[in-house]
Amino acid sequence: MDINVVCVCDQKYLKYFYTLLQSAKIYSPDLRFHICLINQKKSRKKIELKAKNIYKKINFFYLEKKFINKANKRAFCANYRAKFLLHVLNKGFKNIIYMDVDSLIRKNIKEYNWDFSENDISVYFRNSNDPKFKLLSGIISISGNNKSKVFIESWTKEIEDEIYNWFADQITFYSTYLKLRNNINFGNLDKQVIDWDFQKGSYIWAGKGSRKNNDLRYIKETLLIKTRYLFSRFG
């Protein structure tokens, strides 16, 4: 089964993207990445050379946009995932996993039961009364069938007016889910594919918020991945 990993990234998060690719090279070498790079067109040759030196199967997409401040840019980069997912779907790709670019792959993710044939869309739902925290949008699996495309199209429209608002991705995803849940098959992902508590047996660690800078487990895992990758190439 081919799996397509979709990410969105700006200059600030490029270092995490390279580490994500290194982790994929070690643990899941048969994926295809689709990366949207915000305001990086001038550096595209350098970025593509470095990225493809790590991982061969990458499709690059570039978006140039002006922002009035850092907060606008931060929110836009987080919320653009919906539109970029629609772009990838419109290219005909299936078995899609949206993955925050600061994630770390720690096991072969093809061994996880993503259930693309049963579920149109899957996400990690949380027990919260706050619409901001009803789910986590850092990992989303999309089958690529017509129903999943209907959902992503609707989500893209919902988020358009909120594109510069932080948490709009999760708020509008949940409102779209409420609107379409009777017509679309939704799955609930296990925490082991979006683990922000950094358990040893998890498939994917999520570099959620400040954890990636403050939690020693994430920091040590990043260093271990870099070391293992370099050793695999030059050791």
pLDDT value of position 231: 87
SS3 98: strand
Cα–chain center distance at 159: 17
- For the chain, which ranges sit under pLDDT 50? none
pLDDT value of position 100: 98
Phi, psi of 97 (to 5 degrees): -125, 115
The pTM score is 0.96
End-to-end CA distance of the chain: 31
Tokens 């070690």 — which residue? 26
pLDDT value of position 233: 78
C-alpha to C-alpha distance for 142 and 211, rounded to whole angstroms: 26
- CATH fold of the domain at 4-234: Spore Coat Polysaccharide Biosynthesis Protein SpsA; Chain A (3.90.550)
Residue 123 token pair: 């996400």
pLDDT value of position 191: 97
List, as one string, the DSSP characters of 132-179. GGSEEEEEEEE--SHHHHHHHHHHHHHHHTTTTSTTHHHHHHHHHHHH
In sequence order, the 6+-apart residues with CB closer than 8 A to the CB of 120 are 142, 143, 145, 147, 148, 151, 184, 185, 186
C-alpha to C-alpha distance for 36 and 51, rounded to whole angstroms: 13
Q: How far is CA 78 from CA 4, 12, 67, 74, in A?
A: 19, 13, 14, 6
CB 27 within 8 A of CB 225: no
Q: How far is CA 176 from CA 114, 171, 189, 231, in A?
A: 21, 9, 18, 45
Angle among Cα 127, 129, 130 to the nearest 5 degrees reads 110
Tokens 């002006």 — which residue? 66
